[in-house]
């Protein structure tokens, strides 16, 4: 059985300013990779077999730094399936303004903002991506570097909670590392990894 580890990208300018990002990219802050040092420390005693990253720059840059810190020398594969939800027209708006304009945005799993995607669609995309990875590997330790929303989608699936409820109740800090397992289309365990 494969074991998955999941880490969040470093702090971005949009995170700091309280803006939504989703599929648009935003630079890491000057201190944005400091939490990544804690991620490296947590993972230091593991032999990671494979590393995958969301294909959005903030995640790939963070994955690169983690790979350097762990002396991981294989390719970091970028996957669009690991992206955050596509906020569409709400992307780059201040969160407060976006939620005023679209009250259902981070709460209603089926709501699709203009030119974006619903949380339900995003969760299905993430689960399909994980299923493919799970099928492509056997007894591997796999590290994913992606987004808070990706983590919420996976944990919501594990505990059977509506993704919209999970997405607004759980924000994963930038130094968070999760550990989970996956079988037959379902996240069978999910918890914080502290080494």
In this prediction, residue 168 has a pLDDT band, given cuts at 50, 70 and 90, of low
In the prediction, which pLDDT does 139 show?
Answer: 97
- What are all long-range contacts of 28-33, with beta carbons under 8 Å and residues at least 24 apart? 28/58, 28/61, 28/62, 32/174, 33/61, 33/62, 33/65
What are the pLDDT digits (tens) for 128-138? 999 999 999 99
What are the pLDDT digits (tens) for 44-68? 999 999 999 999 999 999 999 999 9
CATH topology of domain 3-192: Rossmann fold (3.40.50)
pLDDT higher than threshold 80 for residue 153: yes
Q: Where are the domains of the chain?
A: 3-192
Gap between the Cα atoms of 21 and 3, Å rounded: 29
Confirm whether pTM is higher than 0.75: yes
Over residues 20-47, the mean pLDDT reads 96
In the prediction, which pLDDT does 166 show?
Answer: 79
- Angle, CA of 169, 81 and 76, to the nearest 5°: 110
In the prediction, which pLDDT does 131 show?
Answer: 98
In the prediction, which pLDDT does 169 show?
Answer: 63
What are the pLDDT digits (tens) for 67-86? 999 999 999 999 999 999 99
Gap between the Cα atoms of 151 and 157, Å rounded: 10
In the prediction, which pLDDT does 40 show?
Answer: 98
Over residues 171-177, the mean pLDDT reads 92
Mean pLDDT, the chain, integer:
95
What are the pLDDT digits (tens) for 95-122? 999 999 999 997 899 999 999 999 999 9
- List, as one string, the DSSP characters of the chain: --EEEEEEPPPBHHHHHTB--TTS--PBPTTTTHHHHHHHHHHTT----EEEEESSHHHHHHHHHHHHHHT--S-EEEEGGGPPP--GGGTTSBHHHHHHH-TTTTT-TT---TTS--HHHHHHHHHHHHHHHHHH-SS-EEEEEE-HHHHHHHHHHHHT--HHHHHHH----TT-EEEEEEETTEEEEEEE---
Q: Kindly tell me the sign of the dihedral angle through the C-alpha atoms of 5, 132, 154, 56.
A: positive
């Amino acid at each position: 059985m494969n074991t998955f580890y999941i880490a969040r990208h470093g702090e971005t300018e949009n995170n700091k300013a309280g803006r939504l990002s989703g599929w648009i990219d935003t630079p890491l802050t000057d201190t944005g990779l400091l939490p990544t040092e804690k991620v490296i420390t947590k993972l230091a005693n593991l032999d990671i077999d494979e590393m995958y990253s969301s294909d959005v720059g903030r995640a790939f840059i963070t994955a690169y730094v983690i790979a350097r810190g762990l002396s991981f020398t294989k390719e970091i594969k970028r996957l669009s399936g690991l992206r955050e939800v596509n906020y569409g027209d709400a992307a780059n708006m201040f969160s407060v303004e976006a939620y005023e304009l679209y009250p259902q945005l981070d709460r209603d799993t089926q709501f699709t903002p203009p030119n974006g995607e619903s949380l339900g669609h995003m969760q299905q995309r993430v689960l399909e991506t994980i299923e493919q990875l799970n099928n492509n590997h056997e007894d591997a330790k796999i590290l994913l570097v992606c987004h808070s929303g990706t983590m919420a989608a996976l944990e919501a699936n594990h505990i059977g909670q509506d993704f919209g409820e999970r997405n607004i109740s759980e924000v994963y800090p930038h130094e968070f590392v999760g550990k989970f397992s996956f079988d037959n289309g379902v996240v069978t365990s999910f918890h914080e990894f502290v080494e």
